[in-house]
Amino acid sequence: MSKPQINNPLHGITLEKIVTQLEAHYGWAEMGVRINIRCFTSDPSVKSSLKFLRKTPWARTKVENLYLEMQEEL
């Protein structure tokens, strides 16, 4: 059995859950302002965002960091 990742605040949270919660909190327009990527600014959807973010590590890192910032606000 693997050890729990105590120092990883994203452990157990799916990318889909991250994108869905960010969209619910900020909306697509604000997400596009905060992270200027086309999957948020041009015909955005969870499905298209997930497809892009899974292939693009730098963008995924930015989205994960925005999620962590949002969690700190709440």
Instruction: List pLDDT tens digits, range 32-60.
Output: 999 999 999 999 999 999 999 999 999 99
Domain boundaries, the chain: 15-73
- 């086309």: which residue's tokens? 38
Residues 6+ apart with CB under 8 A from 16: 46, 50
Residue 69, burial from CB neighbour count under 10 angstroms (0-12, 13-18, 19+): exposed
> Could you report the per-residue pLDDT of 10-37, keeping only the tens digit for each?
988 999 999 999 999 999 999 999 999 9
* pLDDT at residue 4 greater than cutoff 80: no
CATH H-level superfamily of 15-73: SAP domain (1.10.720.30)
Tokens of 42: 């041009």
pLDDT for residue 41: 94
Nearest Cα to Cα of residue 22 among 10, 8, 6, 5: 10
pLDDT for residue 2: 61
pLDDT for residue 40: 95
Whether residue 71 contacts residue 9, with contact meaning beta carbons closer than 8 Å, is answered with yes
